[in-house]
Amino acid sequence: MKYTERYHSSHPCKLHLVNHQRTPYICDGCMEIGFGSCYRCEECNYDLHPDCISAASSISHPFYRKCNFKFLKSPRGERLCDACGGDVKGFVYHCEKSGRDLHPCCSKLPIQIESEGVKLNLQEKLTVECSWCGKRRLWDKVTGWSYVSTCNEFHFHVNCVKEMLMKIWERGHFNTQNAPRIGYSDGEIKNENINIFMTMDRRIVGNTEQRTVNRTRIRDGVEKYWRIAKLVMRTIISTILGDPTLAITWLVESLISSS
């Protein structure tokens, strides 16, 4: 059950449950991107993820069975989230014994998700390259969690999906009153979106060309890949951002159409 009004020790005012629909926001608790529902103080322009306002004092996680994560309002020094590899800038679950850290939203990522026939499993580390960045690790000593399809064709770091969303948002793709445009023209925004997806297209086509020289089959393979990729990306995005509504469908359809 979601309460429509909540108080939190991080903010003196009452926070009201609202839905940002198509406009992303930055959570003032964990300082990570959010989409959809949040608890907001309009007067102070203060937002909290539902997962952040409801954070427990301690949690465990099946990936780290020997860890006991304690909730902290701020990190102890420079830290990285073991799930997404992102900087820890605010609310965090920290295990003193192992030194591991988890963003509150990352700690709630489901181990298995399914949508429209697409099944994905959350894995602590990849055994093959990520479909987006082409790497198994995010960087040295940081593997990062990933969602992998049961058909084993799609592998996406949680970090890669989050970075893709942030880049599109910063370029003004959401095109709403509250979305930052940061000085980019519409033409520059469109070109940036095209460049992002052409990067993956080139990799897909290159891999396909190694298997066949038939151009029609290459084209059909890419089109089929993107049809399935839409479902995979939409499922992962809605899970990461916590919003399974039509806004996510709109977002992914818009991103793919830019390519």
Out of 51-60, 142-151, 172-181, 205-214, pick the least confident.
Answer: 205-214
How much is the pLDDT for 56?
Answer: 94
From residue 34, how far is each of 23, 85, 169, 187 by CA, in Å? 9, 17, 12, 26
The structure tokens listed for 129 are 């390259």
Contact 57, 73 (CB under 8 A): no
How much is the pLDDT for 154?
Answer: 83
With cut-offs at 50, 70 and 90, classify the pLDDT of residue 178.
Answer: very low
With cut-offs at 50, 70 and 90, classify the pLDDT of residue 140.
Answer: confident
* pLDDT digits 0-9 by tens, 214-226: 444 445 555 666 6
* pLDDT digits 0-9 by tens, 28-73: 999 988 877 889 999 999 999 998 999 999 999 999 999 999 999 9
pLDDT of 83 above 90: yes
pLDDT of 186 above 50: no
Q: What is the DSSP string of the chain?
A: ---SEEEETTEEEEEEEEE-TT--EE-TTT--EE-SEEEEETTTTEEE-HHHHT--SEEEETTEEEEEEEEESS-SSS-B-TTT--B--S-EEE-TTT--EE-HHHHT--SEEEETTEEEEEESS-SS--TTTS-SSSBTTB---EEEETTS--EEEHHHHHHHHHHHHHTTTT--TTS--TT--HHHHHHHHHHHHHHHHHHHHHHHHTT---HHHHHHHHHHHHHHHHHHHHHHHHHHHT--SHHHHHHHHHHHHT-
Out of 31-35, 117-121, 188-192, pick the least confident.
Answer: 188-192
The structure tokens listed for 51 are 């997962």
